[in-house]
Amino acid sequence: MVVTFACLLLTILIIQVAISIYVFVVVKNSDEIDFKKIYTENLFMKYHPNTEEKEFVDTIQKSLQCCGIDSYQDFPDQIGRTIPGSCCDKPASDICEPINSYPKGCVEALENLFKSALTVLGGVALGIAAAEVRN
């Protein structure tokens, strides 16, 4: 019974270390992931009134305080109108003036979020594994 328990704990420990290593490798190689292409094709190019993509992009822009792909200048080309209110720090309406828009693009913000979240995940997995070994 004790041997079975020890084997299960060892298996869990190996899995945690493997996940940590995998996460850190993904973060290191995340420069190879084309965030711009993924964001542009799957969300931004589908940004039209009354779509789920619009709601999702607006949520990303508000939450990450970003605008467009690289900047607010991506919007007039995309939807033929002014910058959406989700690009502004303090939106007064559904539109935003360039001077009030968030300066960074959402691709940069999403890439930073991805890297930091994976780094935290890897660190937590290693921390738990270290605590298990210590006890």
Distance CA 6, CA 120 (A): 28
Distance CA 133, CA 85 (A): 51
pLDDT for the residue 129: 77
86 Cβ partners below 8 Å, 6+ apart? 57, 58, 59, 61, 62, 96
Which parts of the chain register pLDDT below 50?
A: none
pLDDT for the residue 124: 85
pLDDT for the residue 127: 83
What residue ranges do the domains of the chain occupy?
A: 1-30, 32-134
Instruction: Determine phi and psi for 116, rounding to 5 degrees.
Output: -70, -35
Q: Using one digit for the tens of pLDDT, what is the confidence trace for 109-119?
A: 998 898 888 88
Q: Per DSSP, what are the bridge partners of residue 15?
A: none
CATH superfamily of 32-134: Tetraspanin (1.10.1450.10)
Q: How many Cβ atoms are within 10 Å of 65's Cβ, its own excluded?
A: 15
CB 53 within 8 A of CB 40: no
pLDDT for the residue 24: 78
pLDDT for the residue 64: 93
pLDDT for the residue 93: 65
